[in-house]
Amino acid sequence: MPKLLLDRAKTLEPRNPNKSTGLFGGESSGILNWNDIAYPHWYKMYKRLVGNYWQADEVNMSSDVKQFSALSAEERDAYLKIIGLLSTLDAPQTRTALLLSLYATDPSVQSIMAVIAQQEAVHNESYSYVLSSVVSLDEQNESFQLGRKDPVLLKRNEHLMAQYNAFVEEPSLENILKTLVYTALLEGMFFYSGFAFFYNLARNNKMVGTSTMISYINRDELEHGRFIAELFRATLAEHPDHNTPEFVNWVYDHFQQSVELEIEWSSYVLADVDGIDLDEMAGYIKYRANKMLRIMGLDEVYSEHVDNPMKWIRAYVDNFDGTKTDFFEQKSRQYTKTSDLNGFDDL
Ligand code: ZN
Ligand code: ZN
């Protein structure tokens, strides 16, 4: 199939209709009326995203500052490595959300991507914030060097990086669809072994400030994953010529490859951490992959992992429906409005 490159969407083009004629490669004036968009239910997604607003320095790190030195050497090492990993996910995601927006010819997608990009920027900031609370500048810098130097992390990120950069070089519809697949993996699977490490600390009453922050990031990523999966499905439905067995097999292959790399990474970084069972973690990773495939309109590939094998994790995110007390009780969540839009995906 020839790779036709897409033009970047026009910023304002009054000759085009306000309601977009296509998500990518379509026409729209650039004027956004949320009551006249091609996919009306995306307004709810936008509202949920905006409703999750938070900032890094709202999280109180004072008990973490005291506790960090009391962690085991293995826990401290994993803590720094996992923050290093998370920074390699949120940094490219800030920019990829922008790049997708530049080619999206639907102004509702542009606005949603703007909010996602803003949240990824906050996630990045939060890693600097927590590290600066608990370790010296030298150790902070070392943690942020891991994405450039750690061979297991580099291997794990290699395919994501290749696809994200391919989209920059060649903004074809095919590369947009493949980038959405990797974005779904990132938002819906790549973060989660890292999140689990912090929740495991929290259930042992360790580093609760960091885990609170991680749970806010987690909540954002679940919403991002949900939107990206919808965007993927809608884009594929608009371009049935791309919905070929070859492409669908590519998606399954890359999901399976990503799961294997994620299991390898988690076995490496969590090997000596008390309280995490690596087989259970592998099952959790497969469960997350299944979940993303399902919301992308595809079939699950791990039939034995349709249920969450790490049920204890749910306690750390399920309390975001606005009706219960924040599990961590770190701060009042004044930004979160209780509304019927604030439903929450289970992990
Ligand atoms: Zn993020
Ligand atoms: Zn995200």
Task: Indicate the pTM of the whole model.
Answer: 0.91
- Looking at all shown ligands, the one closest to residue 226's CA atom is 2
Distance (Å, rounded) from C-alpha 121 to C-alpha 58?
A: 15
68: tokens are 């960090």
Tell me which residues have their CB within 5 A of the ion that is ligand 2.
Answer: 187, 221, 224
Taking the centre of ligand 2 as the mean of its atom positions, its distance from the CA of residue 156, in whole angstroms, is 18
Tell me which residues have their CB within 5 A of the ion that is ligand 1.
Answer: 90, 120, 123
C-alpha closest to that of 157 among 224, 76, 80, 92: 92
- Looking at all shown ligands, the one closest to residue 188's CA atom is 2
C-alpha closest to that of 211 among 322, 315, 341: 315
From first to last of its 347 residues, the chain has per-residue pLDDT tens of: 556 899 999 999 999 999 999 999 999 999 999 999 999 999 999 999 999 999 999 999 999 999 999 999 999 999 999 999 999 999 999 999 999 999 999 999 999 999 999 999 999 999 999 999 999 999 999 999 999 999 999 999 999 999 999 999 999 999 999 999 999 999 999 999 999 999 999 999 999 999 999 999 999 999 999 999 999 999 999 999 999 999 999 999 999 999 999 999 999 999 999 999 999 999 999 999 999 999 999 999 999 999 999 999 988 875 454 433 455 544 444 444 333 333 444 44
Taking the centre of ligand 1 as the mean of its atom positions, its distance from the CA of residue 227, in whole angstroms, is 13
CB within 8 A of 132, min separation 6: which ones? 140
Torsion sign over Cα 285, 290, 296, 298: positive
Taking the centre of ligand 2 as the mean of its atom positions, its distance from the CA of residue 90, in whole angstroms, is 7
Distance (Å, rounded) from C-alpha 236 to C-alpha 247?
A: 10
Question: pLDDT of 13-28, one tens digit each?
Answer: 999 999 999 999 999 9
Taking the centre of ligand 2 as the mean of its atom positions, its distance from the CA of residue 82, in whole angstroms, is 16
- Looking at all shown ligands, the one closest to residue 96's CA atom is 2
State phi, psi for 148 to the nearest 5 degrees.
-100, -20
Taking the centre of ligand 1 as the mean of its atom positions, its distance from the CA of residue 210, in whole angstroms, is 15
Taking the centre of ligand 1 as the mean of its atom positions, its distance from the CA of residue 56, in whole angstroms, is 12
Number of other residues whose CB lies within 10 A of the CB of residue 328 = 19
Distance (Å, rounded) from C-alpha 177 to C-alpha 14?
A: 28
Distance (Å, rounded) from C-alpha 93 to C-alpha 186?
A: 8
In the DSSP assignment, the letter for residue 9 is: P
325: tokens are 């007390």
CB 17 within 8 A of CB 28: yes
Catalytically active residues are 127
CB 289 within 8 A of CB 308: no
Tell me how many helices (H) and strands (E) the chain has.
Answer: 11, 0
- Looking at all shown ligands, the one closest to residue 90's CA atom is 1
Please report the DSSP string for 86-127 in residue order.
HHHHHHHHHHHHHHHHHHB--HHHHHHHHHHHHHHHHHHHHH
Q: What is the pLDDT of residue 317?
A: 75
Axis-axis angle for helices 73-103, 208-238 (nearest 10): 30
Taking the centre of ligand 2 as the mean of its atom positions, its distance from the CA of residue 278, in whole angstroms, is 25
Distance (Å, rounded) from C-alpha 288 to C-alpha 306?
A: 9
338: tokens are 């209780």
3-class SS at 246? helix
Burial of residue 61 (CB within 10 Å: 0-12, 13-18, 19+) is buried
Q: What is the pLDDT of residue 4?
A: 86
Q: What is the pLDDT of residue 47?
A: 97
Q: What is the pLDDT of residue 334?
A: 40
Torsion sign over Cα 87, 89, 95, 101: negative
